[in-house]
Copies of this chain bind each other. A is one copy, B any other.
Amino acid sequence: MNDTAEGRNKASGGVPRSPRSVPVGEAEYLAAYDPSVYPPVAVTADIVVLTVRNGRLAVLLVERAGHPFQGCWALPGGFVEEHEDVDAAASRELREETGLRLVVAGQAGTKGGRGHGGQAGHLEQLRTYGAPDRDPRLHVISVAYVAMVADVPAPAAGSDAAVARYWLVEDLALPAFGQRHGAALAFDHATILADAVERVRAKLEYSTLATAFVDEPFTLGELRRVYEAVWGESVHEANFRRKVLSTSGFVEPTGSTAPTEGRPAQLYRRSDATVLHPPLLR
């Protein structure tokens, strides 16, 4: 943030307008500072929790008990509390809804959650949505996050009994994807969800994030089905295997195998790479 605006005396902010020719000390300035006159806006952290269920992409939604959009389904989330880090608010909301503990990844200088052998799951910021009319009550700015988790961190773990369940993304009305039929989402959550899905589709190409959708250990078949569910198209099996195994740091074998419907499959765990060069193109 900054307020060069204030420095140029054009903001309506609550800063004592000391003439620039008579500077005051910083301590003095902060003591005299009145925060109550900044524009009243509320900030929420909303999370798009994505998972793969039965080969399909699914998203966690909660049913709204109150107005507005009563009875509609919406992304889980809530207000950022006073003096609470926005990223921390996202972690808190995710934990309350799913029981999962993930920290936000992706900012310079912070090394995000998942590393070698870490817990399944990934949490990152998506985008901030700040249209003034997106909430009929007041100007609510939503900082949206995407969480990618393995199946069945069900809302069961949530402490309070809000109605929450996973929906198949294909069963929702998402105009941005040309999906005109299906359940309508509250607020601008259809836009947010569409952006999240696009983000994840792109990220699977050039990162190892697909592994965030499966529990360890996993088979290459399971990993491939993640790609197919997210991209919505089939992936050539032999070439996928060659590509994944030839990318050092993507996965590493555990040595044991798991039974399948056919020949038993080698099991793998996540390794330490996060980016894929060259990418695994769609």
- Interface set of A (CB-CB < 8 Å, partner B): 1-8, 10-13, 15, 20, 23-24, 26, 29-30, 33, 35-36, 38-44, 46, 62, 64-68, 70, 74-87, 89, 106-109, 125, 127-132, 134-143, 160, 162, 175-176, 186-187, 189, 191, 194-195, 198, 206, 277-279, 281
Contacts and interface: CB of A to CB of B under 8 A. Distances in A.
Pick the 6 closest A-B CB pairs, nearest first: A86-B130, A5-B78, A7-B65, A108-B176, A1-B142, A35-B138
Is chain A's interface secondary structure helix, strand, loop, or mixed overall? loop
A82 B139 contact: yes
A102 B50 CA distance: 33
A142 B3 CA distance: 11
Given A3-B77, A130-B143, A277-B281, 11 more contacts: A1-B129, A4-B65, A15-B66, A38-B42, A38-B79, A84-B132, A87-B131, A107-B191, A107-B195, A109-B194, A128-B143
Contact of A40 (B30, B35, B65, B89): B35
A229 B51 CA distance: 40
Given A42-B35, A43-B41, A108 B6 contact: no
B62 A130 contact: no
Contact of A13 (B74, B79, B125, B279): B79
21 contacts: A1-B42, A1-B135, A2-B76, A2-B78, A3-B78, A11-B78, A13-B42, A20-B65, A23-B70, A26-B67, A30-B67, A30-B136, A39-B79, A41-B41, A41-B82, A43-B141, A106-B127, A108-B176, A108-B191, A108-B198, A125-B127
Contacts of A128: 86, 125, 128, 143
Contacts of A176: 108-109
A134 B107 CA distance: 14
Contacts of A206: 206
